[in-house]
C-alpha cells in the first residue's frame, strides 16, 4: 500500500475513533466542553504530541500544537479546524482539517525535517456553537476577541456559560486573555470537507477555495391571535403560522432569484401548538448567504420588506432578532495559487470553487492571509448529517497536497 493510502487510512481511523466521543449514545453530537468534547480534546492532544508537536490549551479550550521551524521563534503557518459538531452531525466536518495537518507534521518529524517557518495546528474547541449558540467562539478567542454578553447564556439543560467553563477547569474571565500575536502568523490554511456535491460531480478529489460566503441568521417572531379552530371564520383570523408559511415562501423565492444566493428556514416552532387551535405565535429562523455581501444585503432588505407586507396584510406583527452575522471572505490569491500547484502536483486535478459554508478561516482572515483546501464528500455531498463520508484515498491526497504546500511555501 502506498504512503498516501496509508495516511488516508490512518486519518479515517482516527476520525472514527473521535466520533466515539459523543454527547449522545444514539448519534454523533459533540458540543463545547461536554465530557465527550473534553475526551476528544485529550485524544487530539495525544496525537499531536506523538507527531512531534508541543501542545498547549488556550482559554477557550482549543488545542494548539507547534512544530518549530529550522530557526526557533520563526513565523508560523497556522492550520487546523474545529472539533465540536452540530447535533446529529457528520464525523469528518472540522475533524479532517485537524487530522490531516497532524499527519503531515508526523511525516516531517519522522524525517527530522524542519521548514523555514513553524507549523501550528489548532483544534478549535467551538466553531458550530451548538451548545450556547456561539458561532466561531474559539477562533475569535484565539485572536483575543470575546463578547462578554455570552456569559449570560445557558444551555438547554440550564447550565450557565461560566459553569460549563468552570467544570472544564477554564476561567471565563480569561477566555481571550492570551491571544496569538498576529505578527507571528505567516498564513492560515484550512483543510475541510466540501460539504457539497461540486467536487463529487466533477470527479475530483480536491479543490481550492476562492471565497467563503458571508451570512446572517435571524430568529423571526410572528404574533397573531390564537382562537378555536372551529369557531373563528377564515376572514377574521390572525393566524401566525399561515403568515409564517407565506414568509418562508418569500425567503425561498428571493434566494432563487440570484445565482449563488441561498436562503434557508431551518427551524419553525409553534408556541403552545395544538391541532385544534389557531396558532397565535410562531418563531422561525432565517439564514441568508452569498459570497457577494452586496447581493446578500439586498436580499436581506427585500426579505424584511416582504415580511412587513405579509404581516400588515394578515394583521399580525413580526419582529427579528439577529444572532449571527459575518461578511464574505476572499481567500488570498497567492495561497490559492500555491494550493492549486500542490493539488496538481499530487494528481488531484485542478478546480477552484467558493464555499457556501462558514469556516474559522473567516475569523482568521482578520489577521492573516487565508487559504482553504476542499476535500470531496461522498454520499451525494451530504454534510452536517450522519451520512457524511470521505474516501480514505481522498483524505490521503489532501494530506499529501498539504505537505507539498508546506514545502513550497516561502
Segment 175-217, tens digit of pLDDT: 999 999 999 999 999 999 999 999 999 999 999 999 999 999 9
Evaluate if residue 398 carries a pLDDT over 90.
yes
pLDDT at 72: 87
Task: Say yes or no: 76 and 224 in one domain.
Answer: no
End-to-end Cα, the chain, rounded Å: 32
Task: Say yes or no: 299 and 385 in one domain.
Answer: no
pLDDT at 397: 97
For the ranges 130-139, 231-240, 379-388, which has the lowest average pLDDT? 379-388
Task: Say yes or no: 208 and 225 in one domain.
Answer: no
Task: Say yes or no: 157 and 9 in one domain.
Answer: yes
pLDDT at 298: 98
Task: Say yes or no: 332 and 316 in one domain.
Answer: no
Segment 1-10, tens digit of pLDDT: 688 889 999 9
Evaluate if residue 137 carries a pLDDT over 90.
yes
Q: What is the mean pLDDT of residues 257-286?
A: 96
Domain boundary among 326, 343, 374: 326
Name the band, by pLDDT with cuts 50, 70 and 90, for residue 309. Answer: very high
Q: What is the mean pLDDT of residues 48-64?
A: 98
pLDDT at 348: 94
Whole-angstrom distance, CA of residue 247 vs CA of residue 302: 12
Task: Say yes or no: 202 and 350 in one domain.
Answer: yes
pLDDT at 31: 98
Task: Say yes or no: 283 and 383 in one domain.
Answer: no
Percentage with pLDDT > 70 across the chain: 100
Task: Say yes or no: 53 and 107 in one domain.
Answer: yes
CATH number of the structural domain spanning residue 220: 3.30.70.360
Domain boundary among 284, 301, 326: 326
Total domains present in the chain: 2
Name the band, by pLDDT with cuts 50, 70 and 90, for residue 254. Answer: very high
pLDDT at 265: 98
Evaluate if residue 20 carries a pLDDT over 90.
yes
Task: Say yes or no: 33 and 137 in one domain.
Answer: yes
For the ranges 168-172, 219-223, 275-279, 349-353, which has the lowest average pLDDT? 349-353
Helices 96-111 and 392-408, packing angle to 10 deg: 60
Residues 6+ apart with CB under 8 A from 368: 78, 182, 185, 186, 187, 188
Task: Say yes or no: 18 and 100 in one domain.
Answer: yes
Task: Say yes or no: 396 and 383 in one domain.
Answer: yes
pLDDT at 207: 98
Evaluate if residue 125 carries a pLDDT over 80.
yes
Residue with grid cell 466553531, as numbered in its chain: 127
244, three cell numbers: 409564517
Domain boundary among 300, 326, 352: 326
Q: What is the mean pLDDT of residues 268-287?
A: 97
pLDDT at 218: 96
Between residues 18 and 350, which one has the greater pLDDT? 18
pLDDT at 239: 98
Whole-angstrom distance, CA of residue 51 vs CA of residue 120: 12
The DSSP secondary structure of 196-222, one letter per residue, reads SSHHHHHT-SEEEEEEE-EEEEEEEEE
Q: What is the mean pLDDT of residues 121-134?
A: 96
pLDDT at 251: 98
Q: Containing domain of residue 367, as a range?
A: 3-212+328-408
pLDDT at 2: 85
Task: Say yes or no: 189 and 228 in one domain.
Answer: no
Percentage with pLDDT > 90 across the chain: 94
CATH number of the structural domain spanning residue 192: 3.40.630.10
Output the average pLDDT for the chain: 96
Evaluate if residue 379 carries a pLDDT over 90.
no
Picking from 172, 374, 368, 211, the residue whose alpha carbon sits closest to that of residue 293 is 211
Whole-angstrom distance, CA of residue 246 vs CA of residue 255: 14
How would you write 215-255 as a 3-class SS string?
EEEEEEEEECCCEECCCCCHHHCCCHHHHHHHHHHHHHHHH
Amino acid at each position: 500500500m502506498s504512503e498516501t493510502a496509508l495516511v488516508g487510512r490512518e486519518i479515517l481511523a482516527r476520525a472514527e475513533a473521535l466520533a466515539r466521543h459523543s454527547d449522545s449514545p444514539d448519534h454523533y453530537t459533540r458540543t463545547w466542553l461536554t465530557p465527550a468534547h473534553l475526551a476528544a480534546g485529550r485524544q487530539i492532544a495525544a496525537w499531536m504530541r506523538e507527531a512531534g508537536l508541543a501542545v498547549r490549551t488556550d482559554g477557550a479550550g482549543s488545542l494548539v500544537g507547534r512544530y518549530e521551524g529550522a530557526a526557533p521563534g520563526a513565523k508560523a503557518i497556522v492550520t487546523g479546524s474545529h472539533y465540536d459538531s452540530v447535533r446529529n452531525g457528520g464525523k469528518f466536518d472540522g475533524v479532517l482539517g485537524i487530522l490531516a495537518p497532524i499527519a503531515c507534521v508526523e511525516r516531517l518529524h519522522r524525517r527530522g525535517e524542519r521548514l523555514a517557518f513553524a507549523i501550528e495546528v489548532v483544534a478549535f474547541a467551538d466553531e458550530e456553537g451548538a451548545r450556547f449558540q456561539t458561532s466561531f467562539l474559539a477562533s475569535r478567542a484565539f485572536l483575543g476577541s470575546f463578547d462578554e454578553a455570552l456569559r449570560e447564556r445557558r444551555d438547554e439543560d440550564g447550565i450557565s456559560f461560566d459553569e460549563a467553563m468552570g467544570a472544564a477547569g477554564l476561567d471565563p474571565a480569561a477566555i481571550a486573555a492570551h491571544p496569538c500575536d498576529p505578527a507571528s502568523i505567516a498564513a492560515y490554511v484550512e483543510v475541510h470537507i466540501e460539504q457539497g456535491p461540486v467536487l463529487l460531480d466533477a470527479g475530483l478529489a480536491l479543490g481550492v477555495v476562492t471565497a467563503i460566503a458571508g451570512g446572517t441568521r435571524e430568529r423571526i417572531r410572528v404574533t397573531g391571535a390564537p382562537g378555536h379552530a372551529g369557531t373563528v371564520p377564515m376572514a377574521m383570523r390572525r393566524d401566525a403560522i399561515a403568515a409564517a408559511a407565506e414568509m418562508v415562501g418569500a425567503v425561498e423565492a428571493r434566494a432563487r432569484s440570484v445565482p449563488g444566493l441561498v436562503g434557508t428556514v431551518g427551524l419553525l416552532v409553534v408556541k403552545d401548538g395544538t391541532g385544534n387551535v389557531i396558532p397565535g405565535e410562531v418563531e422561525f429562523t432565517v439564514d441568508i448567504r452569498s459570497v457577494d455581501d452586496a447581493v446578500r444585503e439586498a436580499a436581506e432588505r427585500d426579505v424584511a420588506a416582504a415580511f412587513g407586507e405579509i404581516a400588515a396584510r394578515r394583521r399580525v406583527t413580526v419582529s427579528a432578532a439577529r444572532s449571527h452575522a459575518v461578511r464574505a471572505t476572499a481567500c488570498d490569491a497567492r495561497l490559492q495559487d500555491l494550493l492549486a500547484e500542490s493539488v496538481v502536483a499530487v494528481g488531484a486535478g485542478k478546480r477552484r470553487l467558493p464555499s457556501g459554508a462558514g469556516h474559522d478561516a473567516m475569523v482568521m482572515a482578520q489577521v492573516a492571509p487565508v487559504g482553504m483546501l476542499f476535500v470531496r464528500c461522498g454520499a451525494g455531498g451530504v454534510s452536517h448529517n450522519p451520512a457524511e463520508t470521505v474516501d480514505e484515498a481522498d483524505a490521503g491526497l489532501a494530506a499529501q497536497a498539504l505537505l507539498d504546500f508546506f514545502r513550497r511555501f516561502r
